[in-house]
C-alpha cells in the first residue's frame, strides 16, 4: 500500500471552499447538493433504472430486453438492444434542426481553419464509411488509426463505428515499434494515417513511421493516407491510397446498420505494470450512454455551448470527450491540431476569444506550463465567454487550481476536476458544477450510479482521512469489457484484489465530507504530463539496446510534468559510460516507444539495489532521486555499497 501523502497546505487560499454561484446553479441541470444527493441515492439504490433513463435519450433501433447482465467480472449492458453509435453522434443531429449547426470548428497549427456542420460531418463520415466498405473492411475488423488532430481523425473513427469496424487509435507521438505491437496484438489489417501533422512549426511525419512498422508487420492489406502537410511520402501501389482520391469516388450517402449493444466499438492500448500495453476493449451501447450522460451532467452541456477539450484523439479523453460524448450531445466543439505554445503561449486564449468557447477542458500539466509562461498571455485575450472549466489526467495541485480559477475562469467559473481512466470509459468521480462545493485538489464525489469507495488491504472501508485503494463496487455501463484477447489478465488486473469489485490501481482517501482525494498510482505506472507510462515498458526498451545489461525506471516528482522519468542503467562489461551513450540511450527509448517516454534523467549504475531474492528495490531508487539519501528500512538490501555508488552518481 502506498504511503504517499498529499502535502497539507498551509496557504489559506488552498483550503478555501468555492460554492457555485447562484447564477450558475439556477441554470444547471443539477442545481444544488440536495438535488445531487437525492438523485445519487436513487441511482445507487437502483443503478439499472438510472442508466436505463439515460440510455433512453439515445436512438436505439431496437430496445434492450435487460439493462444489465452481471457475471462478475463480465458485464453486458442493454442486452438485446441494437443501435448505431455513429448515427447517434451524427445522423440524428444532421437530420433535425441542428443540421446546419457547427459540429467541429477546427484550427490547424499554421492557422488554417475549417468548420464542419453536422450535415457536412454526416456527408464526410458517410463517404468514408463507403470507402472502407468498398475496400473490403467488415464489421468486427480492427482498423489502426494513426493521425494528427485533424477532422479526418474523428471522421475515420466515426466511419469505423458506422460499419461496425473496431478502431484502434494510436497516439501520433508513438514510434514504429509501438505500432507493430498494437497491430500484432489487435490483428488489424487496415491503417488510416496522414502524410504528417503540424507540431511546433514543423511537420511531424506519420506515413514514414507507418511504413517502418509495416516493414515488420506484413498483414496490413490497405493504408489510407490523408494529404495534410504535403511532405514527401512513398505510396505502395497495391496497398496505399490517398483519402481524397477515395472519397471523391463514392457517394455521400450511406445506410447505417444497427449493431448489438455489446458490439465492440474500439480497443485503446494503455500502459500497465508489465512491458506490454493492454488493449482496453470498449463496446457500444454502454460506452455511449456513459459518455453521453457525463457530458450532460458534468459539463452541463447546452445547445448554445462551445466545448473545447484539448486532449489528443490518441488518448481516452479524446475518444470520450472529443468524439463520442460531445457529438452524442449535439454540441459545437473546437478541435486544434498543434502545440499550445505555437507561435506562443497565447494560442489557446486567442482561440477561446475567437470562437467564444464556453466550456474548456484541459490537463494540470498544461496549466502548470501556462503559469510558467506568464499571466500576460491569458490577460491579452477576452476570456469572458467561458462559463465552466475542467481538469483531467492527474491530481491538480492547489497552485494550478487557483491560477486556472483566477486567470482563465476570471474567478467565476466552476472547475470540474474529473477522475477517470482509459478503463472506466467515462468520468466517475467529479463535481457537478451547479451543485458541488469545490476545493482545490479533490475530484470530490462519485457520479450517479458509481459506487466508489476506499478499501484497506483487508477489504474494509477506510475511515475518513485514511489512505487506501480506490475501488468501484458496482458495474457501470462505460466500463471496459475485457483486455483484448486476454480475459485472465483482465480478471487478475482489475478484479482479483477484492472479488467482484473493480480496483482502479490508484491510492486515495476521503475527507470527512466524503470528498475523494486521489494520491496517485499504486502500481508501476507513471503519470508523465497526464500520460500513462509503464516503468516495465521503458525498462524493456532500454534493455533492448546492445549496451544495456539491466535497467530500472522510476518516477520522480516534477513541477511541470507531475512525474518525470528517471532511469538507472547497468551497462554490459564491454561498454563504458559517456555523454554520447547517455544521449543514445535516451533516443533509443524515443525510437522504441516515442518521445514522451524518453528518460529525463539517466544514471549509469554500477549496480542496482536488490533484495536477497534479486528483486530491484525501486522504492530506494525513488527515495534516492527525491531526497538524495536513504532513510527507510534497508535490512532486505543485499549489498549496501550499491547505494553509496548511486549516491555519488546522483550528486554528480
Give the footprint of ligand PRX on this chain (CB under 6 A): 270, 316-317, 392-395, 417-422, 443, 504-506, 518, 521, 527, 532
Q: Which of 609, 610, 611, 545 is nearest to 582 (CA)?
A: 545
HSE (side-chain half, CA atoms, 13 Å) at 488: 0
CB 521 to ligand PRX: min, Å:
5
Closest contact distance (angstroms) between CB of 55 and ligand PRX is: 22
Cis peptide before 11 (omega within 30 of 0): no
In terms of CB distance, is 168 or 261 closer to ligand PRX?
Answer: 168
The rounded distance, in Å, linking the Cα atoms of 282 and 9 is 39
Return phi, psi of residue 61, to 5°.
-80, -30
CA-based torsion, 486, 489, 495, 498: positive or negative: positive
In the bound complex, what is the minimum distance in angstroms from residue 518's beta carbon to ligand PRX?
Answer: 4
Sign of the dihedral defined by the CA atoms of residues 151, 346, 378, 113, in that order: negative
The long-range contacts involving 227-232, CB below 8 angstroms and separated by at least 24 positions, are: 227/194, 227/195, 228/148, 228/150, 228/194, 228/195, 228/196, 228/197, 228/198, 229/194, 229/195, 229/196, 229/197, 229/198, 229/203, 230/195, 231/195, 231/196, 231/203, 231/205
Q: What is the three-class DSSP state of 6?
A: coil
**Is 308 or 355 the residue whose CB approaches ligand PRX more closely?**
308
Task: Using the minimum distance from each CB to ligand PRX, give the nearer residue, 130 or 515.
Answer: 515
At its nearest, how many Å lie between ligand PRX and the CB of residue 553? 17
The three cell numbers locating residue 256? 447505417
Beta carbon of residue 504, minimum distance to ligand PRX (angstroms, whole number)? 6
CB closer to ligand PRX out of 118 and 420: 420
Of 386 and 443, nearer to ligand PRX (C-beta) is 443
* Region label for 648, one of left (φ > 0), alpha (ψ between -120 and 50) or beta (otherwise): alpha
Peptide bond into 533 cis (omega under 30): no
452 close to 470: Cβ distance less than 8 angstroms: yes
> Kind of pairing, strands 190-194 and 142-146?
parallel
List of E strands, 419-457: 452-455
389 DSSP 8-state letter: E
- Cβ atoms of 592 and 544 closer than 8 Å: yes
Nearer to ligand PRX among residue 6 and residue 250 (C-beta): 6
Task: Identify whether the C-beta of residue 224 lies closer than 8 Å to the C-beta of residue 192.
Answer: yes
> In this complex, which beta carbon is closest to ligand PRX, that of residue 92 or of residue 473?
473
Each residue of 201-235: b (16+ CB within 10 Å) or e? eebbbbbbbbbebbeebeebebbbbbebbebebee
Nearer to ligand PRX, 247 or 396 (CB): 396
CB of 369 to ligand PRX, least distance (A): 18
Q: Which residue is nearest to ligand PRX (CB)?
A: 422
Closer residue to ligand PRX (CB): 229 or 429: 429
Using the minimum distance from each CB to ligand PRX, give the nearer residue, 377 or 494.
Answer: 494
Residue closer to ligand PRX by CB (options 207, 532) is: 532
Q: Smallest distance, Å, CB 520 to ligand PRX?
A: 6
Q: Is residue 465 helix, strand or coil?
A: coil
Least distance CB 3 / ligand PRX (angstroms):
17
How far is it, in rounded angstroms, from Cα 540 to Cα 589? 9
The residue (of 243 and 401) whose beta carbon lies closer to ligand PRX is 401
CB closer to ligand PRX, 193 vs 422: 422
Which residues have C-beta within 8 Å of that of residue 329, sequence separation ≥ 6?
292, 295, 296, 301
Query: Based on CB atoms, which residue is closest to ligand PRX, 270 or 294?
Result: 270
Is residue 251 within 8 Å of residue 123, measured between CB atoms? no
CB of 317 to ligand PRX, least distance (A): 5
Among 396, 399, 475, 511, CA closest to 69: 475
Strand partners for 116:
104
Rounded least distance, CB 249 to ligand PRX, Å: 38
Residue 30: CB minimum distance to ligand PRX, A = 19
Residue 411 in grid coordinates: 474567478
Least Å distance between CB 531 and ligand PRX?
A: 6
Which residue's CB is nearer to ligand PRX, number 228 or number 532? 532
Cα distances from 165 to residues 67, 161, 268, 504, 599, in angstroms, run 24, 6, 14, 28, 36
Smallest distance, ligand PRX to C-beta of residue 452, A: 13
**Shortest gap between Cβ of 425 and ligand PRX (angstroms)?**
9
Q: Locate the DSSP E strands across 559-608.
A: 562-571, 601-604
Q: Which residues is 241 bridged to in the sheet?
A: 224
Distance, CA of 525 to chain centre? 14
- For the chain, helix (H) and strand (E) counts, in that order, are 22, 30
Q: Which is nearer to ligand PRX, 183 or 396 (CB)?
A: 396
For residue 446, the minimal CB distance to ligand PRX (Å) is 13
In the complex, the smallest distance separating the C-beta of residue 533 from ligand PRX, rounded to whole angstroms, is 9
**Closer residue to ligand PRX in complex, CB, 443/565:** 443
Residue among 30, 598, 571 at smallest CA distance from 296: 30
Q: Give the shortest CB-530-to-ligand PRX separation in angstroms.
A: 6
Amino acid at each position: 500500500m502506498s504511503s504517499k501523502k498529499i502535502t497539507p497546505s498551509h496557504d489559506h487560499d488552498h483550503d478555501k471552499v468555492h460554492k457555485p454561484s447562484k447564477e450558475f446553479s439556477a441554470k444547471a441541470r443539477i442545481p444544488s447538493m440536495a438535488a445531487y444527493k437525492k438523485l445519487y441515492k436513487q441511482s445507487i439504490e437502483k443503478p439499472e433504472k438510472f442508466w436505463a433513463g439515460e440510455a433512453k435519450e439515445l436512438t436505439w433501433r431496437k430496445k434492450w430486453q435487460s439493462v444489465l447482465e452481471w457475471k462478475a467480472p463480465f458485464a453486458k449492458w442493454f442486452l438485446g438492444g441494437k443501435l448505431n453509435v455513429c448515427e447517434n453522434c451524427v445522423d440524428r443531429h444532421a437530420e433535425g434542426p441542428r443540421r446546419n449547426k457547427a459540429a467541429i470548428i477546427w484550427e490547424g497549427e499554421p492557422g488554417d481553419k475549417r468548420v464542419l456542420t453536422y450535415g457536412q460531418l454526416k456527408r464526410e463520415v458517410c463517404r468514408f464509411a463507403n470507402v472502407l466498405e468498398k475496400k473490403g473492411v467488415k464489421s468486427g475488423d480492427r482498423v489502426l488509426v494513426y493521425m494528427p488532430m485533424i477532422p479526418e481523425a474523428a471522421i475515420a473513427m466515426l466511419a469505423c463505428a458506422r460499419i461496425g469496424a473496431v478502431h484502434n487509435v494510436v497516439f501520433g507521438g508513438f514510434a514504429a515499434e509501438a505500432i507493430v505491437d498494437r497491430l500484432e496484438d489487435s490483428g488489424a489489417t487496415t491503417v488510416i494515417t496522414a502524410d504528417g501533422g503540424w507540431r511546433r512549426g514543423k511537420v511531424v511525419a506519420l506515413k514514414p513511421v507507418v511504413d517502418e512498422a509495416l516493414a515488420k508487420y506484413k498483414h496490413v492489406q490497405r493504408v489510407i493516407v490523408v494529404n495534410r502537410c504535403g511532405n514527401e511520402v512513398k505510396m505502395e501501389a497495391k496497398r496505399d491510397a490517398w483519402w481524397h482520391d477515395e472519397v471523391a469516388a463514392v457517394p455521400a450517402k450511406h445506410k447505417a446498420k444497427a449493431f448489438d449493444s455489446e458490439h465492440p466499438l474500439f480497443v485503446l492500448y494503455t500502459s500497465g505494470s508489465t512491458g506490454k500495453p493492454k488493449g482496453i476493449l470498449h463496446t457500444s451501447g454502454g460506452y455511449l450512454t456513459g459518455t453521453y450522460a457525463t457530458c450532460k451532467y458534468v459539463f452541463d452541456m447546452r445547445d448554445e455551448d462551445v466545448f473545447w477539450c484539448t486532449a489528443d484523439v490518441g488518448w481516452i479523453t479524446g475518444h470520450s470527450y472529443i468524439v463520442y460524448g460531445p457529438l452524442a450531445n449535439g454540441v459545437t466543439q473546437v478541435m486544434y491540431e498543434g502545440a499550445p505554445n505555437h507561435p506562443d503561449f497565447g494560442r489557446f486564449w486567442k482561440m477561446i476569444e475567437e470562437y467564444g468557447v464556453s466550456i474548456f477542458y484541459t490537463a494540470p500539466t498544461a496549466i502548470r506550463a501556462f503559469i510558467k509562461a506568464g499571466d500576460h498571455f491569458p490577460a491579452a485575450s477576452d476570456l469572458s465567454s467561458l462559463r465552466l472549466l475542467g481538469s483531467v489526467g492527474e491530481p491538480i495541485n492547489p497552485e494550478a487550481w487557483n491560477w486556472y480559477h483566477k486567470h482563465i475562469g476570471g474567478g467565476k467559473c466552476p472547475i470540474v476536476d474529473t477522475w477517470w481512466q482509459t478503463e472506466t470509459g467515462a468520468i466517475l468521480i467529479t463535481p457537478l458544477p451547479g451543485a458541488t462545493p469545490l476545493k482545490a485538489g479533490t475530484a470530490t464525489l462519485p457520479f450517479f450510479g458509481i459506487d466508489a469507495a476506499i478499501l484497506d488491504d483487508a477489504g474494509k472501508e477506510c475511515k475518513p482521512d485514511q489512505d487506501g485503494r480506490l475501488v468501484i463496487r458496482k458495474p457501470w455501463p462505460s466500463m471496459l469489457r475485457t483486455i483484448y484477447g486476454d480475459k485472465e489478465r483482465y480478471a487478475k488486473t482489475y478484479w482479483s484484489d477484492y472479488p467482484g469489485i473493480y480496483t482502479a490501481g490508484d491510492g486515495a482517501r476521503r475527507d470527512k465530507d466524503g470528498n475523494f482525494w486521489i494520491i496517485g498510482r499504486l502500481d508501476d505506472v507513471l503519470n508523465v504530463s497526464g500520460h500513462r507510462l509503464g516503468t516495465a515498458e521503458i525498462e524493456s526498451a532500454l534493455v533492448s539496446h546492445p549496451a544495456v545489461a539491466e535497467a530500472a525506471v522510476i518516477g520522480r516528482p516534477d513541477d511541470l510534468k507531475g512525474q518525470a522519468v528517471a532511469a538507472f542503467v547497468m551497462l554490459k562489461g564491454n561498454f563504458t559510460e559517456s555523454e554520447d551513450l547517455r544521449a543514445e540511450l535516451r533516443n533509443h527509448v524515443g525510437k522504441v516507444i516515442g518521445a514522451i517516454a524518453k528518460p529525463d534523467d539517466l544514471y549509469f549504475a554500477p549496480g542496482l539495489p536488490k533484495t536477497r531474492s534479486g528483486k530491484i528495490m525501486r522504492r530506494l531508487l525513488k527515495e534516492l532521486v527525491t531526497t538524495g539519501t536513504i532513510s527507510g528500512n534497508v535490512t532486505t538490501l543485499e549489498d549496501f555499497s550499491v547505494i553509496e555508488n548511486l549516491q555519488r552518481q546522483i550528486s554528480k
